[in-house]
Structure 1
Amino acid sequence: MDADPEEPQDHATAGAPEERGLPETGDRPPDPEDPGHWDGAILDAIFTQSDVGLHVLDTSLRVVRVNDVGLHGLPAAQFLGLPAAVAYAPAGVSVDEDVLRQVLATGRPATNRLVTGRPPADRRIEYVSSVSVHRLQDRAGHVLGVVLTNTDVTERERAQGRLRLLHDAHERIGSSLDVERTAQELVAVTVPRFADTVVVALTDAVLKGLDPNLQARDTAPLLRCAAAGRTDAGPQAPEAGAVLLPGIFGDELPTSASLLPPDREGGSVGTRLVAPLTVRGQVFGAVAFSRSDDAEPYGAHDLDLVDNLAARTATCLENALRFTREHIVMTALQSWPLRQEEATQRAVDVARRRRPGGSGAGSWFDVIPLPGARVALVVGQVENAGLSAVATMSRLRTAVHSLTTLDLDPHELLARLHATTLRLAAEQETGPGGESPTASCTFAVHDPVGGRLDIARAGTSLFAVVHPDGSVDTNPVDDGPLLGAEGPPFACSSHLLPEGSILCMASAASGEDGPRTDDLVNGLAHPRRDLGAMADDVERLLAPDRMLLLARTRLLTSNEMAEWPIPFDFAAVGTARTHVEECLERWGHPADPFTATLLVSELVTNAIRYGAAPITLRLITDSTGLICEVSDAGQAAPHLRHAKAVDEGGRGLLICAALADSWGVRYTGDGKTVWAVV
């Protein structure tokens, strides 16, 4: 009888163990529904295979279990059973027990706390760990202790520290356009955050404000200490001005940041890091960073940081050096020409001030003597700042000095100066969106004979007149268009001022940076007080880089000026000569009477022959010179001509030109005045 082919089998004994993929030991597989079978294996894997440090503390904050991650060579066994504050002290870790007890009490975890430590093998190296603390409790809710996890974030924190240092360097280095101050700022940024001692040395050329030299391959430039700083533990730093090559920078200046061996001769075995301060091959100097013996030594990761610090400092040094050179040029241009108070004291007493600071705007003032003891007062400002503005200012000043020799009315002079500004703008190259140079200028002429003041203004430069009674006219002339800009004709006005009036002129615009009217009136109060003290008060009201000019007017006395009407008759020439001789004798003037009478004779004869009545003769004197003026109502322009040998006339002005130190003519609404100085 055949057997049943599908005889049932017992599942418990079906198949050998190796056929079912189970160990031969006969152990039963874990039940997935029972977590208890997994806890031990998972816990062992976490403690032995995880990259995260694990530290288990009981409720008394004693170490129960710890893995080997992040112990920096210390055996895990030496931590067990010890209080946390004692257990981690050898690793240089300070335990905040208050945080641990708070987690135990509240159950709220403390995460991502940064903890620093130093391994016993090398106390100079500091590591940083991110530690999180969680409360540990069983399934019944009983608190068993806390578990700490820590992750090494040393490199991350170092990278962030380098970024913060670079950010601070960009914020703080270069805050002033001064070479030595820039070097000091580099020291302030890096001590003690990056170095215990920092020495910044600059070349002699840079310290003198000259162009830096190009870097040579075989020779090291002469460097002098410009700034140095150190902590109490840092190596000694040289004194300012000390020569530093060869020395802390090595025998040859490196082309990039480099590590140097310890400076044992300097008394330190700490590490050193040096870098050149160069821009486009130009050597400005070098910087050396040193750390003390017990500080973490410099490594390769610090080289890029130092290169960036040096590049930032070198760029700021270049800007400071360029500003220094431009400032020297601007100061020289703004101080030209020399002061001429002595030549104008018969007409005005002046006080000048320049408000320091600012960006180097092209501001200027001038006091220019004119024929007839008159004086021209000029204040102007080129609108844009910088060296180009000062160069434009210098050319405009030259033009003003040239135009004053023509004895033009103030508004006519500004019109010609406007044409000069347009010509300068056409000569200058302006890039896309570039602006042509424009300038404001106030030009005033004061005549001490009658107290007449003629004013013309381009732009909105400050101008005020203080009368002897203390009243202040803050707008004696209207604003006009800027020189070089489009607009109506230049504003002009005329005034008759009593002696002792004060003219206040400043290059500060009447906009937001100008003084308030009330403050200006208060600063100009009491016109009889010292002119210098008044200038000091007004100067404080001005914006930086502005010029101030105060002038107290004078009138000529009978000992300085004499005037006679001359009949329109050739017979009056002799009378004119007599007036001159008597006046020179009364004044005791050193001028040669023969020369003076001959000049007056020729000028009066010329006025009678070619001019029109009435004719006036005027003599104006100072300590050495004598001004002879003859005025008439004619408008014909006198000019030199060379008479032939047989000509009876035509030699008058030629004689005047030969005998006089200078001569000229000016036109007025009533005619003209021909003058000569002997």
Structure 2
Amino acid sequence: MSGGEDLPGLGEAVLDALFTQADVGVHVLDPRLRVLRVNPVAIGMRGVEQESLIGRPVSEAYAPLGVDVDVGMFREVLATGRPVREALMRSRPLADPDREHAYSVSVYRLRNAEGRVLGLVATTVDVTERERAQGRLNLLHRARERIGSSLDVERTARELVDVMVPGFADGAVVALTDSVLRNGAPGPAARDGTLPLLRCAAAAGPADERPPPPIGSVLLPGLFGPELPSSPMVLAGPEPVGGDVAAEGPLLVASLSARDQVLGAVAFRRRPGAEQFTAEDMELVRGVTSRTAISLENALRFTREHIVMTALQSWPLRQEQDTRRAAEIAQRHRPGGTGAASWFDALPLPGARVAFVVGKVEDPGLSAVATMSRLRTAVHSLTTLDLDPHELLARLHATVLRLAREQAATGETDEPTAHCTFAVHDPVSGRFDIARAGRSLLAVVHPDGSLDTAPVPDGPLLGEEGPPFASTSVVLPEGSTICLASPSLTEQDGPTVEQLAAALGHPVRPPEELADDVGALLAADRVLLVARTRRLPDDDVAEWAVESEFRAVGPTRRKAKERLREWESAVDPFAVGLVVSELVTNAVRYGAAPITLRLIRGEGTLICEVDDGALAAPYLQHAKAVDEGGRGLHICATLAESWGVRYREDGKTVWAELSTTPDAEPEPRRERGRASGEGDGQPKASSSRADGGPEAAG
């Protein structure tokens, strides 16, 4: 048989097979959109005689069968010849009125060999199961996107209802245990299946039926069955619950539990006569309730940690006496419930200085509170090293990177980053050192009312790569006002420069009033620190230049004791003399000119500071019994409350702080000092390591 040979009756045979055997519905329409022919599997044809449709307009013919025909689509295909492929149509056919069906419809124009339009042919395929499966996937995707976004228990319950009604059910009731609603720990699942006390947390239902139970009402076990099901279950005939929930229509209940702990339960219901819940529906509910339970657990954990965080933030800073002498401080924090992990601190430093710290963990989440606490602790620890602000931020940056590695090892994807501003005010010299990581609010108001809102530019966040942290040093006049606040959510959010100037441009007003005005401009959960700088009185500071000779030790010690008598200080003069001798001797032997001794009088304390121009690092040495030297810093550490070293670009300062000893007996102690080798300019008890050289003892 040749390729071009036609078989008699082939066309009629193909059409007959298509109309009688194919699973695809076929509808043939004339140019006036009247039905010419349909096959038995056509849309809506089950149980309907074909003769009742033939010759009738398509919209009129299919309307009684529950099929809404898009006549405009048919007319467009007839006029343009452009086919429509796989258009989706939904209907409830007479043969199955309780179940909505989905059909894929394709429409083509028919023409004969001469090009005359003969009508249309429409094919339909029942894709109900495919669309239902896709709908379940879409619903599950929506649940994963929307449920748990708020980290709030009641909003999570509301999100579950919003996702599932009306797409999955006509009504829903979410009930949570009393302890969960009070942000407490959920209770373990009862072995006998008994239900804990449940209260309605969220509900929705059709407007034309009886209203759902009110929020907060106690729900009796009848709604969820006699026992809380371990997996989603369809209840055949639920009992009415106090007249609030209608016992009509299919009802599916499921527990909200995680890690063998019960958080609540949920019930989904459909209208009377609606389609029953299927096994696929129960599998969908299993996934959604599992997601909801985990979100509720996360919300509980977040709420508990946020309560702790808010307590930490709102706890008033107790200004120690030393910080009061350096600055007058006001603080503000207005909790807002968002969990923005911000903190502030005012920390006393050696030399009567004070450090101001304001920070915030970026992108707060479940680990924000822990990160904030660890960073705050790290700052407290690093301040004991007396580091420059920019060096302290560098160490804190390394801490944040280590925390990121720890979280990555535990499977957490969020890497912590943080803003932090660290500033140090010296009330002796008025020097103000500051460094910034991120974009915390920073403003300095001078006594004349002039405002500087950018003494240091923004820097990279802690935990992010970028240039070194910006830092600067300035000398502030006494009475300057420093304003520090944690950053806003965005750079555009927050007070403008004009608003800050209006709030802070009053140098005579006390910091408490300024903090009220600035705090009113800040959003909730931002912390604020306002400090008015002070200078120590001249009578509380004594300073002498020291020759870089051992013979200068004795006169310097005598000057220190003479000033101690002038101050009528209760600090033991023998201890002061010995500490001054050892620190000055160390500076002469291992340091470099210029050398300066400074005494700072405090309330109940005396600070001895010796500056020199070398960067040699003194260290505490344990001398042997037969050694003649090497006990200098050990003696200082024994007599002083604390001691340490801080470095500058041009040298270092070794300091020791002594406290008052009212019962001191100076004269016997002085004799004992001579017996121990205290003499004018005799370096007997000092130790230092100079530039990596060998250990040496005086």
TM-score (norm 1): 0.67
2:101 matched to 1:124?
no
* Contact kept? 1:461, 1:506, Cα under 8 Å: no
CA deviation digits over 1:496-540, x for unaligned, max 9? 53332012345669xx97799996697357531652256348856
3-state SS of the aligned residue for 2:303? Answer: helix
Which amino acid is 1:256 matched to?
S
1:164-179 → structure 2 map (5 Å cutoff): 164-179=138-153
Distance 1:81 1:634 in 2: 110
Cα RMSD between the aligned structures? 5.6
Q: Deviation at 1:307? A: 1.6
Structure exhibiting the larger radius of gyration computed from Cα positions: 1
Distance 1:671 1:210 in 2: 50
Distance 1:480 1:195 in 2: 50
* Contact kept? 2:171, 2:205, Cα under 8 Å: yes
* Contact kept? 2:148, 2:156, Cα under 8 Å: yes
The corresponding residue for 2:529 is 549
2:322 matched to 1:350?
no
Distance 1:226 1:601 in 2: 66
The corresponding residue for 1:592 is none
Corresponding residue to 1:452 among 407, 427, 430: 430
1:558-597 → structure 2 map (5 Å cutoff): none
* Contact kept? 2:571, 2:661, Cα under 8 Å: no
Corresponding residue to 1:260 among 211, 235, 252: 235
2:227 matched to 1:273?
no
Distance 2:462 2:110 in 1: 81
1:180-579 → structure 2 map (5 Å cutoff): 180-219=154-193, 220-233=195-208, 236-263=211-238, 265=240, 266-335=245-314, 338-340=316-318, 347-353=326-332, 363-368=342-347, 375-379=354-358, 386=367, 387-396=369-378, 399=381, 403=384, 411=388, 444=423, 446=425, 452-453=430-431, 455=433, 465-469=444-448, 470-472=450-452, 474-475=454-455, 496-506=475-485, 523-524=500-501, 527-528=505-506, 530-532=513-515, 535-536=518-519, 539=522, 547-554=527-534
* Contact kept? 1:501, 1:527, Cα under 8 Å: no
Which amino acid is 1:531 matched to?
L
1:48-87 → structure 2 map (5 Å cutoff): 48-69=20-41, 70-87=44-61
The corresponding residue for 2:630 is none
Distance 1:60 1:413 in 2: 84
Corresponding residue to 1:46 among 5, 9, 18: 18
Note closer, same or farther for the CA distance 1:517–1:328 as it changes in structure 2 (3 Å cut).
Answer: closer
* Contact kept? 2:379, 2:396, Cα under 8 Å: no
Out of 135-144 and 265-274, give the one that drifted further: 135-144
Distance 1:412 1:138 in 2: 89
Q: Deviation at 1:476? A: 7.2
Distance 2:52 2:417 in 1: 82
Q: Deviation at 1:246? A: 0.3
Gaps of 5+ in 1: 1-31, 581-596, 621-625, 636-656
Distance 1:390 1:532 in 2: 23
Distance 2:339 2:167 in 1: 36
3-state SS of the aligned residue for 1:114? Answer: strand
Distance 2:390 2:642 in 1: 17
The corresponding residue for 1:148 is 122
Which amino acid is 1:523 matched to?
L
Out of 324-333 and 168-177, give the one that drifted further: 324-333
3-state SS of the aligned residue for 2:219? Answer: coil
Which amino acid is 1:241 matched to?
G
Q: Deviation at 1:124? A: 2.6
CA deviation digits over 1:103-130, x for unaligned, max 9? 4444443333333222335533212222
Which amino acid is 1:532 matched to?
A
Gaps of 5+ in 2: 508-512, 544-554, 585-595, 613-638, 646-651, 663-698
* Contact kept? 1:663, 1:677, Cα under 8 Å: no
3-state SS of the aligned residue for 1:101? Answer: helix
3-state SS of the aligned residue for 1:164? Answer: helix
Distance 1:253 1:226 in 2: 17
Distance 1:121 1:43 in 2: 26
3-state SS of the aligned residue for 1:289? Answer: strand
The corresponding residue for 1:641 is none
Q: Deviation at 1:218? A: 1.4
3-state SS of the aligned residue for 1:123? Answer: coil
CA deviation digits over 1:574-607, x for unaligned, max 9? 9999x99xxxxxxxxxxxxxxxx8xx46656875
Note closer, same or farther for the CA distance 1:676–1:234 as it changes in structure 2 (3 Å cut).
Answer: farther
* Contact kept? 1:199, 1:237, Cα under 8 Å: yes
CA deviation digits over 1:331-361, x for unaligned, max 9? 344455x422596666533343559789967
Q: Deviation at 1:392? A: 1.7
Note closer, same or farther for the CA distance 1:553–1:134 as it changes in structure 2 (3 Å cut).
Answer: same
* Contact kept? 1:256, 1:275, Cα under 8 Å: yes
Distance 2:495 2:167 in 1: 51
Out of 194-203 and 211-220, give the one that drifted further: 211-220
3-state SS of the aligned residue for 2:69? Answer: coil
Q: Deviation at 1:374? A: 6.4
Which amino acid is 2:530 matched to?
L
TM-score (norm 2): 0.66
Distance 1:291 1:182 in 2: 22
Which amino acid is 2:161 matched to?
V
* Contact kept? 2:436, 2:458, Cα under 8 Å: no
Distance 1:280 1:341 in 2: 45
CA deviation digits over 1:601-628, x for unaligned, max 9? 66568757986899999988xxxxx657
Distance 2:28 2:199 in 1: 58
The corresponding residue for 2:673 is none
* Contact kept? 1:425, 1:436, Cα under 8 Å: no
The corresponding residue for 1:586 is none
Identity across matched positions, percent: 44
* Contact kept? 1:467, 1:498, Cα under 8 Å: yes
* Contact kept? 2:642, 2:656, Cα under 8 Å: no
Note closer, same or farther for the CA distance 1:433–1:608 as it changes in structure 2 (3 Å cut).
Answer: closer
CA deviation digits over 1:358-407, x for unaligned, max 9? 99676532224679986543345679972442342353365479x4xxxx
3-state SS of the aligned residue for 1:147? Answer: strand
Distance 2:174 2:398 in 1: 45
Which amino acid is 2:187 matched to?
N
* Contact kept? 2:571, 2:660, Cα under 8 Å: no
Out of 248-257 and 626-635, give the one that drifted further: 626-635
1:634-653 → structure 2 map (5 Å cutoff): none
